[in-house]
């Protein structure tokens, strides 16, 4: 029995020797571990006190190679859950929930983390009225950040009823007709079509209304009509 205890102690000391820093919880768990490369690893708890009018909080979750990974929960210093988040590659990923300090659900968010190993990411675009209908694909450059992606729901924290719903596709707000607000970066540009349209526009002669033509004809000798020309001829 004594030999078993000695071996257990030696194993425990060997396991702890691989960490540069750590703490032992009241239950005997090893928390807030930092490996020999200075990276946070495993289960962590963090306590932030009240500061300059900002309320403090406590959060708990898991680190993988110095990046938040999986589910993280945040509590007020009084023990009320105020957030439940999910992470991948150290960035928000999937569904997130945020609560008031009284425990009422305020908002549900949906995010998409991008694999740092990939320069670009491709996601499918679906019809809001028929989520089973795919209407296209979106290619987005990896900027190293998480993006709003999916359904966002806003609640009345007292009554619990839904007040508003939004749908995002990689940081762009999707409208009912499938288009997106400020989506210049999402939609591919057909350079040939754009050039043809530009050439056509430059060659097109704009017809003046008849009333303007009549006015110019009757006042041709009285006034010099201003047509926007600066009068400066550029040197060849």
Q: What is the mean pLDDT of each run of 10 residues along the chain (236 residues)?
A: 42 61 87 95 96 95 97 97 98 97 97 93 86 87 93 96 95 80 50 45 49 55 41 43
Q: Which two tokens stand for residue 207?
A: 């017809």
- Domain spans of the chain, in order of start: 15-178
Task: Give the pLDDT of residue 189.
Answer: 38
Task: Give the pLDDT of residue 222.
Answer: 46
Do 98 and 86 form a contact (C-beta atoms < 8 A)? no
Residue from 175, 166, 168 nearest 138 by CA:
168
Task: Give the pLDDT of residue 192.
Answer: 46
In this structure, how many other beta carbons lie within 10 angstroms of the beta carbon of residue 187?
Answer: 12
Task: Give the pLDDT of residue 226.
Answer: 38
d(CA 205, CA 211): 18
Q: Which two tokens stand for residue 40?
A: 């946070």
DSSP 151-216: EEEEE-TTT--EEEEEEEETTEEBPTTS-BTT-TTTSPP-HHHHHHHHHHHHHPPPPPPHHHHHHH
In this structure, how many other beta carbons lie within 10 angstroms of the beta carbon of residue 11?
Answer: 10
d(CA 135, CA 79): 45
Do 94 and 101 form a contact (C-beta atoms < 8 A)? no
Report the predicted TM-score, pTM, of the whole model to 2 decimal places: 0.68
d(CA 127, CA 202): 37
d(CA 92, CA 111): 6
Task: Give the pLDDT of residue 126.
Answer: 86
């Amino acid at each position: 029995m004594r030999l078993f205890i000695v071996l257990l102690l030696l194993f425990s000391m060997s396991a702890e020797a691989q960490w540069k820093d750590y703490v032992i919880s009241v239950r005997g768990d090893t928390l807030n571990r930092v490996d020999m490369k200075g990276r946070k690893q495993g289960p962590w708890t963090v306590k932030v006190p009240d500061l300059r009018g900002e309320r403090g909080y406590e959060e708990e979750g898991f680190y993988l190679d110095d990046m938040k990974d999986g589910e993280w929960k945040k509590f007020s210093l009084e023990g009320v859950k105020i957030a439940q988040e999910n992470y991948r590659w150290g960035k928000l990923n999937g569904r997130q929930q945020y609560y008031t300090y009284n425990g009422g659900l305020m908002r549900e968010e949906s995010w998409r983390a991008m694999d740092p190993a990939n320069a670009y990411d491709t996601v499918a675009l679906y019809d809001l009225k028929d989520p089973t209908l795919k209407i296209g694909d979106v290619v987005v450059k990896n900027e190293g950040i998480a993006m709003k992606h999916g359904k966002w729901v806003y609640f009345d924290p007292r009554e619990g009823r839904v007040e508003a719903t939004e749908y995002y596709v990689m940081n762009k707000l999707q409208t009912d007709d499938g288009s997106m607000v400020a989506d210049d970066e999402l939609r591919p540009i057909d350079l040939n079509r754009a050039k043809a349209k530009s050439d056509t526009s430059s060659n097109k002669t704009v017809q003046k209304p008849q009333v303007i033509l009549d006015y110019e004809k009757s006042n041709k000798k009285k006034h010099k009509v201003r047509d926007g020309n600066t009068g400066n001829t550029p040197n060849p």
